[in-house]
């Protein structure tokens, strides 16, 4: 199958999607930053079960990277991505330029209060303003009926749900389960940064999160369980743990320090050398 021929302009995107809508076809959108892997392709396949036509966007968004982060080094291979999307059954690849998304004089930022003040928002100031702004633009531009986002970036998913609700955007946000390698490591474009030795260590993140979730669900106190989880990650070879915290899955409010009294989400960001890995798991309410 030939790679998809990228659509670059908003005018072309709207011309194509408007024709689909007039024909009564439902449209699905899967926003990506490229460097596609099986996790992204699973989002495309899920979107195809909920829509007649699927649009994937490919845009490495500069406004969600801090100055010290890896925007310039972020992996890019549009031709490979276009071929993978075609194989997955995607109907349209929207790959705008930076100037097309942020033209001269662009002066608007979408900010979601509360949900963005913790976790990634604490360690990556300004990140979610960049995410929320570009996602809002993509949803307005493509005008999909549904849009699919992965649960691996769980905080991002909740931010997007909130902004679409608050701005009355007529789109259903669908959450896709985390795609993992056979050893449990959550799929991520940044996994390519791991050395061979680091790749052997990386699956410990999922295992330790699963054990932490198990003991919390079993009635151990949240504070002690989180502390043990962080210590276990460092013992496994992770160089630093930004956070390992139990949060309300809807509000992202901090839970603890006692026993769990509701369903929750356990979220973690940990470093292996220069690579920062994210993962999260649902935690059942303790009986």
**From residue 195, how far is each of 64, 65, 75, 198, 275 by CA, in Å?**
25, 23, 16, 5, 10
Q: Taking the mean position of all CA atoms in its chain, how far away is CA 85?
A: 18
Contacts of 31 (CB under 8 A, 6+ apart): 56, 57, 59, 134, 135, 138, 147, 149
Tokens of 132: 């929320």
Q: Taking the mean position of all CA atoms in its chain, how far away is CA 70?
A: 16
**Nearest residue to 49 via CA among 129, 146, 123, 114:** 146
Please pick, among 37, 40, 68, 165, the residue that the annotation labels catalytic. Answer: 40
Tokens of 235: 């013992």
The verdict on whether 165 is a catalytic residue reads no
Q: Which residues are catalytic?
A: 40
């Amino acid at each position: 199958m030939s790679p998809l021929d990228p659509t670059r302009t908003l005018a072309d995107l709207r011309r194509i999607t408007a024709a689909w809508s007039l024909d009564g076809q439902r449209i699905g959108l899967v926003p990506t930053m490229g460097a596609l892997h099986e996790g992204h392709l699973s989002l495309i396949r899920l979107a195809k079960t909920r829509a007649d036509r699927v649009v994937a966007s490919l845009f490495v968004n500069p406004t969600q990277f801090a100055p010290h982060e890896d925007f310039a080094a972020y992996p890019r291979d549009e031709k490979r991505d276009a071929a993978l999307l075609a194989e997955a059954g995607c109907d349209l690849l929207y790959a705008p330029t930076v100037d097309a998304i942020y033209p001269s004089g662009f002066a608007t930022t979408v900010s979601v209060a509360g949900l963005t003040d913790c976790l990634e928002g604490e360690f990556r100031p300004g990140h979610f303003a960049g995410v929320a702004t570009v996602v809002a633009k993509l949803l307005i531009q493509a005008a999909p009926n549904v849009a699919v986002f992965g649960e691996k970036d769980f905080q991002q998913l909740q931010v997007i749900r909130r902004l679409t609700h608050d701005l009355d955007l007529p789109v259903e946000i669908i959450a896709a389960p985390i795609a993992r390698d056979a050893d449990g490591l959550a799929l991520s474009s940044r996994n390519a940064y791991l050395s061979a030795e680091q790749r052997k260590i990386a699956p410990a993140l999922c295992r330790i999160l699963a054990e932490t979730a198990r003991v919390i669900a079993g009635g151990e106190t949240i504070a002690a369980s989180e502390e043990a989880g962080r210590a276990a990650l460092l013992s496994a070879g992770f160089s630093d743990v930004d956070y390992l915290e139990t949060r309300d899955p809807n509000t992202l409010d901090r839970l603890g320090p006692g026993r769990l009294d509701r369903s929750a989400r356990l979220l973690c960001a940990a470093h292996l050398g220069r690579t920062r890995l994210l993962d999260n798991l649902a935690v059942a309410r303790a009986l």
